[in-house]
Chains A and B, each alone.
Chain A
Amino acid sequence: MDKQLIARGVSRCPALKFLLWIAPWVALFLFGLYAAALCLIKGLNQTNMDNRFAFGLWIFLDLTVIALGAGAFFTGFLLYILKLDELSSVINSAVVIGLVCYSGAIAVLMVDVGQPLRAWFTFWYPNVHSMLTEVTFCLSCYLTVLAIEYVPIVLRNRKLRQIPSLLVFEFELHKLIYVLAGVGTFLSFFHQGSLGGLYGVLRGRPFAFREGLGLWPSTFFLFILSAAAVGPSFILLTTWMVQIITRKRLVRPEVLQLLGRISGTLLSVYVLAKSVDTLVWINRTSPETGFQAWQYYSWKPFGSWILVAEIVVCGLVPALMLLMPKLRCRTGWLVTGAFLACMGVALNRFVLTVQTLALPTLSFDRFLDYTPSWQETATFLAVVAYGVLVYSFSFRYFQLFPQERELKLETPEVEESELVGRY
């Protein structure tokens, strides 16, 4: 029934099947909205956060999601600024992922603050020394950029492009996409960094505090690096998942491998930098503030295993997997590597947010535990559902993977029956 909206020459599953696919996600999304509404109307007492655990699941979500969404800016940067044209086959998908991640993160932030009505105060009385100000500004700007970058994708829809004015606007806007990519890159570098700075500057939390390189603490740069490193990995991962779910070939394997290679290279740099930073922290930064680093890891369950897991298992290992051409060319290894890389960054964000707050600072403090309330979890899941929904619709009605059509023509051996994917 919605055939006229679906691009010519690509096959999408019947509308009914599509509805069946999105129905559960819509349900989850609505449930999450209800939970979020509770938090907004009744206040944050609905969460399990408290004075000591001032941040919880949501901040972890924000940091992780934004790191994963970094693929959008970084791919754009590689494609439009560094002219890595192979990536044109994933850029649309990257933009959608970025949009989803950032809008989701900002939505959750709005629920996370006690007085959402005053969110604009940050723009009104900005404290330029605060990392959060930097984050707020860059996030909102970059979300706008992503929205604008998303417009052409929407306007290329088969039906919309038949409206002359839209067609022309899309054409002209696409010509200027380089500007947007440039701005996006600029902004992203800053907010990815300032998200890292967010905790790095907390001299009151020696576990998170890092010494400054110039204006910003080391975590600022580590976050940029790690985000740039996993961004491509996450795109790789999502593209692969979409290919599995829809049982279609959407991009050439070389593209995925290229993404893997980029990811691997940056990841190895990141791992190196992170290790150096950690050593400096253990041997200088932390002791100087009167805290012996080993103490942090004496609080179960956060033993030193977490450090190993973060730097070796989810850092060094995937980096090598993605760097070795032999392994990279095997989808299994490629995907595993990408997955581990993403896990590593998620773990890093978790450690920096949750573990930091769990650890005591005063000698008469307690080591705190925290389990999110159902409202928090539901809100969290709503963001996931929201992401899946936006991506599903975008995939069905817009051309996220320009190569799809020709790849389809290239594979005559694929049977019709197989081609009817879920979308």
Chain B
Amino acid sequence: MNATRRQVLMFAGGSAVGVMFTPAPWRLITDTALWSENWPGIPAPPRGEIHTRFTNCSICTAGCAVRARCVGDQPVELAGVAGHPISRGALCPFGIVGHHLPYIPARLKEGPVGQAAAAIAGGLAKCGPAEFVVTLDLQPGRTASWTYRRAMGALKNGRYIAPSVDAQVAVDLSKARTVLSFGVPVLDGWGTPGIVNAARAGFRLIQIDAVESRTASMADRWFRVRPNSEEVLAAALAGRISPAQAADATGLAVAEIAALAQELEQGGPVLVLGSSQLESTVGTVVARHETPVPGEWKKSAPVTDLASLPDRSVRVLLIDESMPGGYLQWSAIARKLVADNPVVVTFAASPEGYARHANYALPVAVYPEVSGDVPPAIDSVASTFRIASPLVSPPSGMVNPESFIATAAGLSTGDTLRERADAIHKSARGAVFTYADGQSQPLKDMKPDDFWKVLNAGGCWIDEPGAQTAAKLTFGTAARPPEEESDLPLAIVVARETASGIPLLSKVYRESNLRLAPGYVALNPACGLEDGSQAIFETLLGKATVGVTLDSGIPPGVAQVSATPALLDLCAAGARAKVVRS
């Protein structure tokens, strides 16, 4: 048959109408709606086989055990390892986002490696008899630290400096019935979260704090003293000065102090933290056995502190800040440098630390890119040996400070971690906890290679607990009473739990007001500045631009300062400050 045009059109139209009465077009529209449901520019998460890897977090000395959920070889999620004898499955907020550490926007990406080496060589050559080559290690007690000490020992005038000298004394929270903390953030970033939380129910926490820190707010008892008057109170409690004197300085009532003293009498054993005036009850402080090292390492430079060096005597200064630890104020360091062009080289991941002052800043790999061991934390009664084995590969151009400094000092090193592991294995002490199976077995039942494997695949060697000791805990230099500086009205309190620059941490400081943001100063709302505004922070040591956070928990006359190097450089112990509109 031959259809006329009209018939064809009719047929087409009819069928079109007919189709409208079938699900087809409607389903089609619904499905094509997807194009408006997905936008370009939204990153698609990588797919891949999912498996678990283990490591130890080396962001701080807590060295919590980490279970990493990986896609391919990318870690996408970190969590604690349940049943771990030390970290007990806990992971602090920073550890949770530890795998984002390599992505800090301000990360140091390249540095003048060649020039730095040459400059150091030159410095060594120029180094006079009364001058020193110094390695400043912000995280002592590591295997790398031993290498530094050996390297410095190999040099005739090498010195090894660390913020805290005594790494072998630890506290035993489980033994304490009362913990008296002078501004130490016991519950917030101090020690090992797992240990603290486990022991928390066992002790009564008395917090002496100038501001309502997170620890103060969770403490059983909180005494708000005047800033930097903690030591005065400690002295009074130790009976060195009268409660009346202390009352004036601290702003507490005499009765309160007396009551506190009595409380400590009955509440023993008492563990005192953050004070060099008051002593802890014997038994709450233990001396860890030293983690074994190969014999030949012993002939190395001792651990000394900065104060022991004469001023203007440091010709070459090598700073390892690859692992965040204590921070020494730059002004204190600068005093020690020789007058005529000293060589200062820092090994840093971020340009915000000593890189601001050093002649050469060399980029280093960070957790979880780099392999290194984590020294035991202050609250770990037993020595430990755990390796932060890398989860991702570092970007190119990163410098390994350990081998760099060794080479510079002409020291030839092998695989130091392995050597140390073997040394530990030789000692045949303690037990090894394996993360994968959650089993613990005596070290002596293990072959060296298995031990090494376990250490790298997620394991931890735990020594026998240390013995009680009368040794005192040292807490750096005792805080001086505040300067009386009339035009600097604010007393400074350093917030140790400041958030770092890890991108996602914006959740806890910018997208909520949970923590003090880096570069910010918290003030009482009565200070007259607007929340979130920019201001000038000024001390006798200089000034810096800061952001202002208003917090009714901060008493008037106090400035809580975030612990970023730039601000710490301005905040000497007991310093006063003023914050003015910029």
Q: Per the CB under 8 Å rule, do A and B touch in the complex?
A: yes
Q: Is B33 an interface residue (CB 8 A)?
A: yes
State A115–B39 Cα separation when bound (angstroms).
11
Nearest opposing residue in chain B for A118, CB measure: B36
With a cutoff of 8 Å between Cβ atoms, the chain A residues found around residue B37 in the complex are 118
Minimum CB–CB distance for A367 against chain B, Å:
14
Contact B30 A124 (CB under 8 A): yes
Interface string of A102-130 (1 = CB under 8 A from B): 00000000000001011001001000000
Contact A117 B30 (CB under 8 A): no
Minimum CB–CB distance for B217 against chain A, Å:
14
A side interface size, CB within 8 A: 5
With a cutoff of 8 Å between Cβ atoms, the chain A residues found around residue B30 in the complex are 124
Nearest opposing residue in chain B for A121, CB measure: B33
Minimum CB–CB distance for B154 against chain A, Å:
58
Interface string of B27-45 (1 = CB under 8 A from A): 0011001001100000000
Minimum CB–CB distance for B323 against chain A, Å:
38
Minimum CB–CB distance for A362 against chain B, Å:
14
B side interface size, CB within 8 A: 5
In the complex, 9 of the A-B residue pairs with CB atoms within 8 angstroms, ordered by the A residue number, are A115-B36, A117-B36, A118-B33, A118-B36, A118-B37, A121-B33, A124-B29, A124-B30, A124-B33
* 4 extra A-B contacts, CB within 8 A, seeds A115-B36, A118-B33, A124-B29: A118-B36, A118-B37, A121-B33, A124-B33
State A124–B33 Cα separation when bound (angstroms).
10
CB interface residues, A 108-155, toward B, < 8 Å? 115, 117-118, 121, 124
Nearest opposing residue in chain A for B26, CB measure: A124
With a cutoff of 8 Å between Cβ atoms, the chain B residues found around residue A117 in the complex are 36
With a cutoff of 8 Å between Cβ atoms, the chain A residues found around residue B36 in the complex are 115, 117-118
State A118–B29 Cα separation when bound (angstroms).
12
State A42–B249 Cα separation when bound (angstroms).
56
Interface string of A259-284 (1 = CB under 8 A from B): 00000000000000000000000000
With a cutoff of 8 Å between Cβ atoms, the chain A residues found around residue B29 in the complex are 124
State A275–B435 Cα separation when bound (angstroms).
69
State A182–B33 Cα separation when bound (angstroms).
35
State A248–B36 Cα separation when bound (angstroms).
52
Minimum CB–CB distance for B551 against chain A, Å:
14
Interface string of B423-454 (1 = CB under 8 A from A): 00000000000000000000000000000000
State A118–B30 Cα separation when bound (angstroms).
11
Minimum CB–CB distance for B533 against chain A, Å:
16
With a cutoff of 8 Å between Cβ atoms, the chain B residues found around residue A115 in the complex are 36
Nearest opposing residue in chain A for B30, CB measure: A124
Nearest opposing residue in chain A for B35, CB measure: A117
With a cutoff of 8 Å between Cβ atoms, the chain B residues found around residue A121 in the complex are 33
State A326–B481 Cα separation when bound (angstroms).
82
Interface string of B311-324 (1 = CB under 8 A from A): 00000000000000
Minimum CB–CB distance for B511 against chain A, Å:
10
Minimum CB–CB distance for B337 against chain A, Å:
48
State A118–B34 Cα separation when bound (angstroms).
10
With a cutoff of 8 Å between Cβ atoms, the chain A residues found around residue B33 in the complex are 118, 121, 124
CB interface residues, B 1-49, toward A, < 8 Å? 29-30, 33, 36-37
State A115–B37 Cα separation when bound (angstroms).
9
CB interface residues, A 301-330, toward B, < 8 Å? none
State A124–B30 Cα separation when bound (angstroms).
8
Minimum CB–CB distance for A50 against chain B, Å:
11
State A121–B30 Cα separation when bound (angstroms).
9
State A124–B37 Cα separation when bound (angstroms).
14
With a cutoff of 8 Å between Cβ atoms, the chain B residues found around residue A118 in the complex are 33, 36-37
Minimum CB–CB distance for A64 against chain B, Å:
31
State A386–B33 Cα separation when bound (angstroms).
32
Minimum CB–CB distance for A279 against chain B, Å:
38
Minimum CB–CB distance for A160 against chain B, Å:
32
Minimum CB–CB distance for B26 against chain A, Å:
9
State A121–B36 Cα separation when bound (angstroms).
10
Minimum CB–CB distance for A390 against chain B, Å:
30
Minimum CB–CB distance for B513 against chain A, Å:
10
Nearest opposing residue in chain B for A117, CB measure: B36
State A342–B430 Cα separation when bound (angstroms).
84
With a cutoff of 8 Å between Cβ atoms, the chain B residues found around residue A124 in the complex are 29-30, 33
State A183–B177 Cα separation when bound (angstroms).
80
State A412–B81 Cα separation when bound (angstroms).
98
Minimum CB–CB distance for B40 against chain A, Å:
13
Interface string of A78-122 (1 = CB under 8 A from B): 000000000000000000000000000000000000010110010
Nearest opposing residue in chain A for B36, CB measure: A117
CB interface residues, B 245-282, toward A, < 8 Å? none
Minimum CB–CB distance for A157 against chain B, Å:
35
Nearest opposing residue in chain A for B37, CB measure: A118
State A118–B32 Cα separation when bound (angstroms).
12
Minimum CB–CB distance for A53 against chain B, Å:
16
Interface string of B274-304 (1 = CB under 8 A from A): 0000000000000000000000000000000
The 3 residue pairs across chains A and B that have the minimum distance between CB atoms: A117-B36, A118-B36, A124-B30
State A118–B36 Cα separation when bound (angstroms).
7
Minimum CB–CB distance for B66 against chain A, Å:
33
State A261–B30 Cα separation when bound (angstroms).
51
State A8–B30 Cα separation when bound (angstroms).
53
Minimum CB–CB distance for B482 against chain A, Å:
34
State A124–B29 Cα separation when bound (angstroms).
9
Interface centre among B29, B36, B37 (most CB of A within 10 A): B36
Minimum CB–CB distance for B157 against chain A, Å:
59
State A124–B32 Cα separation when bound (angstroms).
12
Minimum CB–CB distance for B42 against chain A, Å:
13
Interface string of A40-71 (1 = CB under 8 A from B): 00000000000000000000000000000000
State A117–B29 Cα separation when bound (angstroms).
14
State A117–B36 Cα separation when bound (angstroms).
7
Minimum CB–CB distance for A363 against chain B, Å:
15
Nearest opposing residue in chain B for A115, CB measure: B36
CB interface residues, A 335-375, toward B, < 8 Å? none
Interface string of A232-276 (1 = CB under 8 A from B): 000000000000000000000000000000000000000000000
Minimum CB–CB distance for A404 against chain B, Å:
48
Minimum CB–CB distance for A400 against chain B, Å:
40
State A124–B31 Cα separation when bound (angstroms).
11
State A117–B37 Cα separation when bound (angstroms).
9
